[in-house]
Structure 1
Amino acid sequence: MVLPFVHAADSHKVLHYVFPSPETGFDPAVAHDMYSGQVIRSIYETLYAYDYLARPAKLVPSTAASMPVVSNHGKTYTITLKKGIYFTDDSAFGGKKRELTASDYIYSLKRLMDPAVRSTWGWLLEGKVIGLDALAKQARKTGHLDYAKPIRGLELVDRYTFRIHLNKPDYNLTHVLAHYPTSAVAHEIVDKYTDGNGQIMAHPVGTGPYVLTEWQRGSKMILDANPAYRGFIWDFRAGSDPEDKRIVEEMKGKRMPQIGRVEIAVIPEDQSRWLAFENREVDLFNLDGPLAPRALEKGHLRPELASKGVRLSRIIEPELSQFYFNMQNEVVGGLSKEKIALRRAIAMAHNVKEEINVVWNGEAIPLEYPIPPGIIGHDAKYKSSVRYEPKIANALLDKFGYKKGADGYRRMPNGKPLVIVFSARADSTGQQQLEMWKKTFDKLGIKMQSDKRLFPDLLKAEKQCRLMMRTSPWIADYPDGSNFMQLFYGPHTGQSNNGCTRIPQYDRLYEQSVALPDGHERDLLYHKMTRLLEVYAPTRIGYARYRNMLLQPYVIGYKKHPVMHNEWIYIDIDNDKR
């Protein structure tokens, strides 16, 4: 519900939050990490969002006046915006109030396909919108995308209404329009603050509930409540979770947001983050697996914390943590039999359950299937053909010519040294992952070289296909299996396909699957695609972690959402209890 403007946020209500890794920047079309995404979702707005309490996740209108009108056999979406939504004041608007219009969303969707922007999210729209790929192709020739050129696929109906015309039905389009890369960006902001590459990573200006008022790169971010934000009344219904009733009683009827400031610190070291929470310097805390024994016992909050009023919100993260091989790498890549044998042997020699116990203190579940629990398309009965079998793995290497030398280490079939470079974050968790993989490679007689980098540097390198191996987590952008199966689709290399995988049979099956709704026919294709991943071994399917969020006693109304990660828009703080 939108009411006449009354600013509700209280500047004395400050939420202290922490990131374990640095952000990369705040351009919705470019940022590709969860931490930057949390900030982006607080500043910018998409057409659709998710109901805060509904499980499974349920789409609701955000800047759109209603859910889209779908016609033409699922190929046309008509979307009307709410009137009276304004961008945050900025000098780029020449001192005038700048209203959000349908043209802003058309501009922002085109921007995802602009070669100059180098968006990592172009795959969300590639091949889908009539005329959009042709516009991008022309831009690659001329070096400039003509944003003013109308295309049939993005039809401006009036100031507040536009239509998206698709080449074929896309059953996830509304989910895509709820994902932050499709947020509304004003062209005036891009024109004024571009970094020369068409990107605005350092100057975010949106229509959302918060404004970035301070940014110390890789260290600190401050978000203040947007005084011009229209607000909304907290009016969500309780689901089957007994905790929902308490949340509804605490929050129902409040005008949101209540929190006037969000202060985010970047603290990479586990122990430092935990001490900050213990000292109440952090109010809402993601308890990563390495810290789990400090607060949890068999998945429940320890009594000494519960007695202090600390609460736990716990879910299985809708994620896939995979161990990918760079399929373009000369050592581990390629589709020849000996390269497939190498990857399969490594996959069989790695003990995923042991990594879960050692690195994450048991705070994860091993996955047999690429689509995790809680996501449409997950198959709890599926059994992978890849098992932990180090003896067979060694025999496979012997058979395909990876012989051991006098030093005890294996060599390539051509006699050259075999060295695997495994990359990880330069923190304590990354170090533990490296130690686990060193143990795996020692079982095989393969020499491993550790490569530790800062998180933003890892992301940049893997988008350029420059890493050989890495543990790569992917958290659901939207709650459908297609969001995970696309991770191995060849044309998504350089975007979401971090292993730079290109398997022709897989690509053909993926293209068939995206034309199908959720159901038996699509599930059969997903099974075939998963078997191909097991045969060619571009990846070793790993695990999905638990997300354990700890709340200080004065944090009100919090419940971890499976897709949204900026829940501070929906919660409150009781300063009397602080």
Structure 2
Amino acid sequence: MRRRTLLAQAGALSLAPRLTAAAAEPGLKTLRVAFNTGEVGFDPPLVSDQASVVINAHIFESLLTYDCLARPALLRPLTAAAMPEVSADFKRLVFTVRPGIFFADDPAFKGRPRELVAADYVYSIKRYYDPQVRTEHLYQFENAKLLGLSELRRRAQKSKQPFPYDEPVAGLRLLDRYRFEVNLAEPDPRFVHVFAAPGYSGAVAREVVEAYGDELMAHPVGTGPFRLKTWRRGSSVVLERNPGFREQIFDSLAPPGDAQAEAMAVHLRGRRLPLVDRVEVSIIIESQPRWLAFLGGELDQLLLPSEFATLAMPGGKLAPYLAQRGVQARSQVGAEIKHSYFNFDDPQVGGYTPEKVALRRAMALAYDAPTEAQRVYQGRAVAAQSLLVPHTYGYDPVLKTELSGSDRARANALLDLYGYADQDGDGYRENPDGSPLTLRMAATSSQRQRQINELWKKSMDSVGLRIQFEDGTFGELIKRALAGKLMMWGFTWTAGTPDGDFFLGMGYGPNAEQSNDARFRLSAFDKLYERQRRLPDGPERLALMQQANKLLLAYMPYIPHLHTINTDLCQPRVRGFMRHPFARDYWRYVDLV
């Protein structure tokens, strides 16, 4: 799961940038791309930002992946020799690693080739349980209840001793050099998808972790098609083809009727991957310079900033001046949710009493998400009806809720009913007990975020609620959010698997301090969530998911805002760029002509 494509990022540039990546070497195919978020680093358990997650997906490899063209999403082996053996009760999985896969050369291996083996995946998963590895992704494994690992973690926490990586546990057991098994305390029919996400299960080598220690974030070593060549923090990342990458031949089939996918399949069929020699990643925070860099031919691919949607895609079609240049465009609604959360530990907006629920619901009614979609995102977004996102199991495309539009009359009536009144005559409501009420929304500093702040201010003023904004960098706000120090914040979660479980898990009590930023803890919800996790897909599970979703809508720990419409623009020379809803290693398939 990719955390977090921020509502808008820090930084301010007004002119087209001089891209800072090293100049491409003559004769090498070099793909030039940009991110609007600064990268944090390259150790999978420690990162969740957009740039780091995508870069890591091209360096580290999980056992499984998603077919790059199949829709709906289709799992297939990547470093595994075949799909895993899964027991009938969904409590045991056996994976077999394909022999003959090697890590990229690195001094940590002392000049010897280092083959990928089953022990590498066992070690990589155990790292999430190490108290010294401060990850926010541990819940991905703890929720599945791998036998013995949580106990191992608690013992290490209590003893203050190093985590015992070599101690056998029933939940992760080596069977031989290439095979290992996973044993769960409870059925989890969809746990297999964790092994298709390099951000959770990408293999790292123990020698590399121990060799680089605190510097590991700058020394990623994986089995993937690319390796890190240079890194200028917050400015540029250059990847180069991994010269030891195994033979991988493109063999995906396009879904019928998708002309762009069919063209990609024809161009790449039978060819060895990857097809480019370098990928130059520039960090360009603001939208205008990214747009100008693409127009000037300095970028080969661009995720279209919504501010320029009317220029590039008027009426949803590629503008003639771009089409005449041979620019390619592909649009799809993202498997993501743009939302705001309330910290339930905060005395102003948190809590489960009727008046606190009324306050949050009134704010959701007052906020004008459709206006945000049209003005801020230039129509390149659709209103969200709940936290569940398109392309995932459990999402209901016909569901309509009160989040469909702003209703300030109902919001005012709700606040009046529960005693939020302007008692001192300053034009703003106080709490029912007469104490001051000031909402505090965290925000980064950018042009888009300023637009969103203005919309929040106008919406809250319309119902007599005072709101203030607390600025901070993305990294600072992440730390404060995980520590429970923010009252409210907004960003985007993007799905990592084709299932709605993760988004319901944002309300699961044990996930507080991880994906549950709201720190929402409701026993009735937790029981529904746990029951649906144990069931295979079908009517019974869907009914439980719908009940759980209704509780989130009722208590409103999160305000779902929008699902964005993502449009990728590519220069004429690009072939094979196809953004997948869940896989992140799309540069593996790109060619330049």
- In the superposition, the TM-score normalised over structure 1's length comes to 0.95
Query: How far apart, in 2, do the equivalents of 1:364 and 1:11 lie?
Result: 40
Letter of the aligned partner of 1:378 in structure 2?
Answer: Y
Q: 1:538-557 alignment to 2 at 5 Å?
A: 538-557=557-576
Q: Which runs of 4+ in 1 moved over 4 A?
A: none
Query: Would the aligned equivalents of 2:197 and 2:583 in 1 still touch at CA under 8 Å?
Result: no
Identify the residue that residue 547 of structure 2 maps to in structure 1: 528
Query: Would the aligned equivalents of 1:209 and 1:231 in 2 still touch at CA under 8 Å?
Result: no
Report Cα offsets for 1:21-54 as digits up to 9, x if no partner.
1111111111112221001101111000111110
For 1:150, which of 136, 148, 168 is the aligned residue?
168
For 2:241, which of 207, 210, 225 is the aligned residue?
225
Query: How far apart, in 2, do the equivalents of 1:534 and 1:310 lie?
Result: 42
Identify the residue that residue 337 of structure 1 maps to in structure 2: 354
1:73 deviates by 2.6
Letter of the aligned partner of 2:464 in structure 1?
Answer: G
Query: Would the aligned equivalents of 2:236 and 2:280 in 1 still touch at CA under 8 Å?
Result: yes
1:210 deviates by 0.9
Q: Does 1:395 align with 2:413?
A: yes
Question: Secondary structure in 2 aligned to 1:232?
Answer: coil
Change in CA separation of 1:494 and 1:39 when aligned onto 2, cut-off 3 Å: same
For 1:35, which of 25, 29, 51 is the aligned residue?
51
Gaps spanning 5+ residues in structure 2: where?
Answer: 1-24
1:11 deviates by 6.1
Question: Secondary structure in 1 aligned to 2:45?
Answer: coil
Change in CA separation of 1:484 and 1:11 when aligned onto 2, cut-off 3 Å: farther
Change in CA separation of 1:10 and 1:476 when aligned onto 2, cut-off 3 Å: farther
1:191 deviates by 1.1
Query: Would the aligned equivalents of 1:231 and 1:257 in 2 still touch at CA under 8 Å?
Result: no
For 1:455, which of 470, 474, 482 is the aligned residue?
474
Query: How far apart, in 2, do the equivalents of 1:279 and 1:285 lie?
Result: 12
Report Cα offsets for 1:374-407 as digits up to 9, x if no partner.
2111112323245632112112222222221322
Q: 1:496-507 alignment to 2 at 5 Å?
A: 496-507=515-526
Query: How far apart, in 1, do the equivalents of 2:36 and 2:295 lie?
Result: 16
Identify the residue that residue 334 of structure 2 maps to in structure 1: 317
Identify the residue that residue 186 of structure 2 maps to in structure 1: 168
Identify the residue that residue 468 of structure 1 maps to in structure 2: 487
Query: How far apart, in 1, do the equivalents of 2:444 and 2:537 lie?
Result: 36
Computed over aligned residues only, the root mean square deviation of the Cα atoms, in angstroms, reads 1.6
Q: 1:102-117 alignment to 2 at 5 Å?
A: 102-117=118-133
Q: 1:394-413 alignment to 2 at 5 Å?
A: 394-404=412-422, 405-413=424-432
Query: How far apart, in 2, do the equivalents of 1:25 and 1:13 lie?
Result: 25
Query: Would the aligned equivalents of 1:153 and 1:166 in 2 still touch at CA under 8 Å?
Result: yes
Letter of the aligned partner of 2:363 in structure 1?
Answer: I
1:510 deviates by 0.6
Query: Would the aligned equivalents of 1:377 and 1:518 in 2 still touch at CA under 8 Å?
Result: no
Q: 1:298-313 alignment to 2 at 5 Å?
A: 298-313=315-330
Q: Does 1:382 align with 2:412?
A: no
Q: 1:52-67 alignment to 2 at 5 Å?
A: 52-67=68-83
Q: Does 1:369 align with 2:380?
A: no
Higher deviation after alignment, 393-402 or 250-259: 393-402
Identify the residue that residue 98 of structure 2 maps to in structure 1: 82
Identify the residue that residue 50 of structure 1 maps to in structure 2: 66
Identify the residue that residue 294 of structure 2 maps to in structure 1: 277
Question: Secondary structure in 2 aligned to 1:49?
Answer: strand
1:189 deviates by 1.3
Change in CA separation of 1:365 and 1:546 when aligned onto 2, cut-off 3 Å: same
Identify the residue that residue 21 of structure 2 maps to in structure 1: none
Query: Would the aligned equivalents of 2:386 and 2:553 in 1 still touch at CA under 8 Å?
Result: no
Report Cα offsets for 1:525-572 as digits up to 9, x if no partner.
111112211221111122110110000000011222111233111110
Query: Would the aligned equivalents of 2:241 and 2:274 in 1 still touch at CA under 8 Å?
Result: yes
Query: Would the aligned equivalents of 2:365 and 2:402 in 1 still touch at CA under 8 Å?
Result: no
Query: Would the aligned equivalents of 1:385 and 1:534 in 2 still touch at CA under 8 Å?
Result: no
Q: How many residues align?
A: 563
Letter of the aligned partner of 2:567 in structure 1?
Answer: N
Identify the residue that residue 433 of structure 1 maps to in structure 2: 452
Report Cα offsets for 1:277-327 as digits up to 9, x if no partner.
000111010012222112011211111101110000111101111221111
Q: 1:198-217 alignment to 2 at 5 Å?
A: 200-217=216-233
Query: Would the aligned equivalents of 1:284 and 1:552 in 2 still touch at CA under 8 Å?
Result: yes
Change in CA separation of 1:477 and 1:398 when aligned onto 2, cut-off 3 Å: same
Gaps spanning 5+ residues in structure 1: where?
Answer: 1-8
Identify the residue that residue 25 of structure 1 maps to in structure 2: 41
Identify the residue that residue 115 of structure 2 maps to in structure 1: 99
Query: How far apart, in 1, do the equivalents of 2:228 and 2:60 lie?
Result: 11
Instruction: Using the aligned pairs only, state the percent identity.
Output: 40
Query: Would the aligned equivalents of 1:10 and 1:258 in 2 still touch at CA under 8 Å?
Result: no
Query: How far apart, in 1, do the equivalents of 2:578 and 2:99 lie?
Result: 30
Query: Would the aligned equivalents of 2:580 and 2:586 in 1 still touch at CA under 8 Å?
Result: yes
1:415 deviates by 2.6
Identify the residue that residue 374 of structure 2 maps to in structure 1: 357
Report Cα offsets for 1:441-489 as digits up to 9, x if no partner.
1111122112232222222222222221122211111010112111111
Query: How far apart, in 2, do the equivalents of 1:202 and 1:328 lie?
Result: 36
Query: Would the aligned equivalents of 1:23 and 1:456 in 2 still touch at CA under 8 Å?
Result: no
Identify the residue that residue 482 of structure 1 maps to in structure 2: 501
Query: Would the aligned equivalents of 1:314 and 1:560 in 2 still touch at CA under 8 Å?
Result: no
- In the superposition, the TM-score normalised over structure 2's length comes to 0.92
For 2:142, which of 126, 129, 135 is the aligned residue?
126
Letter of the aligned partner of 2:343 in structure 1?
Answer: N
1:417 deviates by 2.2
1:222 deviates by 0.6
Query: How far apart, in 2, do the equivalents of 1:211 and 1:231 lie?
Result: 16
Query: How far apart, in 2, do the equivalents of 1:385 and 1:552 lie?
Result: 41
Question: Secondary structure in 1 aligned to 2:497?
Answer: coil
Query: How far apart, in 2, do the equivalents of 1:521 and 1:400 lie?
Result: 37
1:72 deviates by 5.3
Q: Does 1:290 align with 2:307?
A: yes
Query: How far apart, in 2, do the equivalents of 1:488 and 1:472 lie?
Result: 16
Question: Secondary structure in 1 aligned to 2:584?
Answer: coil
Question: Secondary structure in 2 aligned to 1:514?
Answer: helix
Query: How far apart, in 2, do the equivalents of 1:116 and 1:107 lie?
Result: 14
Query: How far apart, in 2, do the equivalents of 1:498 and 1:302 lie?
Result: 40
Query: How far apart, in 1, do the equivalents of 2:498 and 2:68 lie?
Result: 14
Letter of the aligned partner of 2:30 in structure 1?
Answer: V
Query: Would the aligned equivalents of 1:17 and 1:263 in 2 still touch at CA under 8 Å?
Result: yes
Query: Would the aligned equivalents of 1:323 and 1:542 in 2 still touch at CA under 8 Å?
Result: yes
Query: Would the aligned equivalents of 2:345 and 2:484 in 1 still touch at CA under 8 Å?
Result: yes
Identify the residue that residue 563 of structure 1 maps to in structure 2: 582
Letter of the aligned partner of 1:412 in structure 2?
Answer: N
Query: How far apart, in 1, do the equivalents of 2:393 and 2:522 lie?
Result: 24
Letter of the aligned partner of 1:229 in structure 2?
Answer: F
Query: How far apart, in 1, do the equivalents of 2:470 and 2:316 lie?
Result: 33
Letter of the aligned partner of 1:267 in structure 2?
Answer: I
Query: Would the aligned equivalents of 1:342 and 1:397 in 2 still touch at CA under 8 Å?
Result: yes
Query: How far apart, in 2, do the equivalents of 1:191 and 1:11 lie?
Result: 37
Letter of the aligned partner of 2:379 in structure 1?
Answer: G
Letter of the aligned partner of 2:525 in structure 1?
Answer: Y
